[in-house]
Amino acid sequence: MDTRLDALLNPPFAKDPPVKLNVPAKTLGGIYAILGAIAALFGLFGVFALLGLSGYVAVAGVGSLIFLILIGSLIAEAGTVMAAWGGYRMYQADRGGKKLVIYGLALNALGGLVTALGSFGGGLSGWIVGLAFTFVLYYLVIISRFEDETKLA
């Protein structure tokens, strides 16, 4: 496996995290599955609205920016769906679900960056705030434990 992906799945703080919370992986997976499915549904409506709006904006001459926003939205939508599916698998006590959630969060952050680069103003500052929120979700996935794993002390 690539060492960069391994570092994302098994960060140095995983064994002894700075903030020790006993988060059940099954419960966290259920929350990610439900909220991810809702977010994916609304994101799909947003992508359809963006497709409808792109024709009007192309006439104004800023079609390349809308193209970046559309590509970024599609990448983020794929990440949201992947994280929701991984959350469902975590809820089913499948350890591979954690990997899908982490990859989905990374894909979502990448899609947010592409969208921010295509935004008209202030997109990067909003992306940084979203990235901080994504890191909190990532941290919770990393420190979550299944029922048969040892709890954090």
For 53, 54, 55, 80, the CA distances from 60, given in Å and listed in that order, are 11, 10, 9, 31
The residue among 81 and 125 whose pLDDT is bigger is 81
Q: Is the dihedral of CA 131, 41, 92, 103 positive or negative?
A: negative
- For the chain, what percent of residues have pLDDT higher than 70? 90
What is the tens place of the pLDDT at every residue in 98-143? 999 999 999 999 999 998 888 776 678 888 999 999 999 999 999 8
Q: Which helix (H) or strand (E) covers residue 48, if one does?
A: helix 25-60
Which pLDDT belongs to residue 36? 94
Q: How far apart are CA 97 and CA 84, in angstroms?
A: 9
pLDDT band for position 58 (50/70/90)? low
Which pLDDT belongs to residue 63? 58
pLDDT at 65 over 80: no
The residue among 148 and 127 whose pLDDT is bigger is 127
